[in-house]
Amino acid sequence: VGIVGKFGTRYGASLRKQVKKTEILQRETYVCPFCGKTATKRTACGIWECKGCRKVLAGGAWQLSTAAAVTARSTIARLRKQREEAE
19-68 confidence digits (pLDDT tens): 999 999 999 999 999 999 999 999 999 999 999 999 999 999 999 999 99
Q: Are 26 and 59 in contact (CB under 8 A)?
A: no
Q: Domains in the chain, start-ordered, CATH in brackets?
A: 2-86 (2.20.25.30)
pTM (two decimals): 0.82
Q: How far apart are CA 72 and CA 18, in angstroms?
A: 26
